[in-house]
Chain A
Amino acid sequence: MAREYLHMAAFVSYGEALALGLASGPACLAACGPVLIPSLLTERTGFRPHARYLSAFLAARLVGYMLFAVVAWELGALASMLPAPRLLMMGVVYLLLACVLLWYAYSARRSCAQPCADSKLVQIGESRNRGVAGAAALGLLTGLNLCPPFVVAGIRAAQLGSMAAALVFFLVFFLGTSIWFVPFVGLGCIVRNQAIITVARMAMVLIALYYLLIGIAMLLGKKTYGY
């Protein structure tokens, strides 16, 4: 009886996580959009490259989620993170995101518009063999972004009583948000040419400059409009 009750309680919690994730999906899309869409547009035409990109992006995003959950649980900070350290962490994440975006935009200069012999995703870093898939780096950093849905999920997860339960909660929440990313595989049907790749790279630079400025402002404790 007690075991059945526990199973039911777990089911309800994870159902809640899924619902929260599904409800937060549009917000996650909006937050990740400036990073995701230009970088997707630098990949070559085709559903497969886009599916690979999204897989790498989402997997790394999950790693980012889990990393934060583990660290915050250990620090006892999952339920409430004070504004000042939260702002500091967000500032650092924004700066890293800006750097990776700029590096990605530079690395994508050799991107193939059409299917070509090189089947790798855009790699950041000079050496093709040792480079990191840009998608993974961007996914990790967007996963560390403390957007409000993520914070709400964190608060709820902290109430579950064990780190394992919190991690599973985050995983289910992540799955709920990730469903919204699946349609972006459809961007693969947009035929790429050098113009689109160039536009995407330029957009990444502009977005990176924005994140750079906001990140620096957060680290300096300056008032951004709102914070």
Chain B
Amino acid sequence: MKLRPILGYTAAGATLLVALLTPFLLMDSFSKGFIALGMHVDEVYTGGPKVRTIPMGAYSIDVHRPVYPHMLQSEKPFVQLDWQPVSALPQHISDAVDIDGDGQPDVRVSFDVPRDPKAPLHVDVDSLNPRYEAVQHAGKEKYSRLIVRVDDAILVRVPLGKP
């Protein structure tokens, strides 16, 4: 039966065509198709979407939506706060932040802003609302409790306490 060899050679020819079209068309199409699936990078890494900005004069604090890690991840739920731009920050920050937007401060965040961008950062968080956990001298050991400098912002993650 000659149909099978014809199909075989047709498929082989199609493969060659795929190879030729890949750099011009297919790779881009496949990538866009993947993007269209609507997936997102795990918020434990990204910190979740920004929901509010609190103006603080020369700088501002971006408040992100709380991140609830998936059930078996060994991270606690947390909320990320971004201080930016770093260039406008004073040498020492001690800000009372209203995270949930109810007009009452929820935490007081304190950290030094070193001039050297590579210098390690440490943060203390006093809890003014039991919904948020206090943090003492945290660095960047855990995704759910850290302070890091990313580009022109200083990110602080405050773990959520028990509901």
> Measured between C-beta atoms, what is the minimum distance from B78 to chain A in Å?
11
> Measured between C-beta atoms, what is the minimum distance from B149 to chain A in Å?
21
- A-contacting 9-mer, from B14-22, B67-75, B93-101: B67-75
Bound state CA distance, A80 and B76, in angstroms? 16
Question: Which residues in B have their C-beta under 8 angstroms from that of A27?
Answer: 70-72
Question: Which residues in A have their C-beta under 8 angstroms from that of B141?
Answer: 223
A175-227 residues with Cβ-Cβ distance < 8 A to B are 223-227
B144 within 8 A of A: yes
- B129-152 toward A: CB 8 Å interface, digit per residue (1/0)? 000000000000111100000000
Which residue on B lies nearest to A152, using beta carbons? B71
B60-86 residues with Cβ-Cβ distance < 8 A to A are 70-76
Bound state CA distance, A147 and B144, in angstroms? 18
Question: Which residues in A have their C-beta under 8 angstroms from that of B144?
Answer: 226
Which residue on A lies nearest to B68, using beta carbons? A148
Say whether B71 contacts A225, CB under 8 Å: no
> Measured between C-beta atoms, what is the minimum distance from B139 to chain A in Å?
11
Say whether B71 contacts A149, CB under 8 Å: yes
Interface residues contributed by chain B, number (CB under 8 Å) = 12
> Measured between C-beta atoms, what is the minimum distance from B99 to chain A in Å?
22
Question: Which residues in A have their C-beta under 8 angstroms from that of B142?
Answer: 223, 225-226
Question: Which residues in A have their C-beta under 8 angstroms from that of B72?
Answer: 27, 30-31, 147-148
> Measured between C-beta atoms, what is the minimum distance from A31 to chain B in Å?
5
Interface residues contributed by chain A, number (CB under 8 Å) = 13
Say whether B71 contacts A226, CB under 8 Å: no
- A133-165 toward B: CB 8 Å interface, digit per residue (1/0)? 000000000000001110000000000000000
Question: If A223-B141, A223-B142 touch, does A24 touch B74 (CB 8 Å cutoff)?
Answer: no
- A88-117 toward B: CB 8 Å interface, digit per residue (1/0)? 000000000000000000000000000000
Contact of B143 among A147, A148, A226 (CB under 8 A): A226
Say whether B75 contacts A24, CB under 8 Å: no
Question: Which residues in A have their C-beta under 8 angstroms from that of B75?
Answer: 226
Which residue on B lies nearest to A214, using beta carbons? B74
A20-40 residues with Cβ-Cβ distance < 8 A to B are 24, 27, 30-31
Which residue on B lies nearest to A149, using beta carbons? B71
Question: Which residues in B have their C-beta under 8 angstroms from that of A227?
Answer: 74
Which residue on A lies nearest to B162, using beta carbons? A80
Question: If A223-B141, A226-B143 touch, does A147 touch B73 (CB 8 Å cutoff)?
Answer: no
Bound state CA distance, A24 and B71, in angstroms? 9
Bound state CA distance, A115 and B38, in angstroms? 45
Jot down 26 A-B pairs with beta carbons below 8 A, ordered by A: A24-B71, A27-B70, A27-B71, A27-B72, A30-B71, A30-B72, A31-B71, A31-B72, A80-B162, A147-B71, A147-B72, A148-B71, A148-B72, A223-B141, A223-B142, A224-B74, A225-B74, A225-B142, A225-B143, A226-B73, A226-B74, A226-B75, A226-B142, A226-B143, A226-B144, A227-B74
Residues of chain A touching chain B, judged by Cβ–Cβ distance below 8 Å, are 24, 27, 30-31, 80, 147-149, 223-227
Give me the 5 closest cross-chain CB pairs, A-B, nearest first.
Answer: A226-B74, A27-B71, A226-B75, A148-B71, A227-B74
Excluding A27-B70, A147-B72, A226-B143, 12 further A-B contacts by CB distance (< 8 Å) are A30-B72, A31-B72, A80-B162, A149-B71, A225-B74, A225-B142, A225-B143, A226-B73, A226-B76, A226-B142, A226-B144, A227-B74
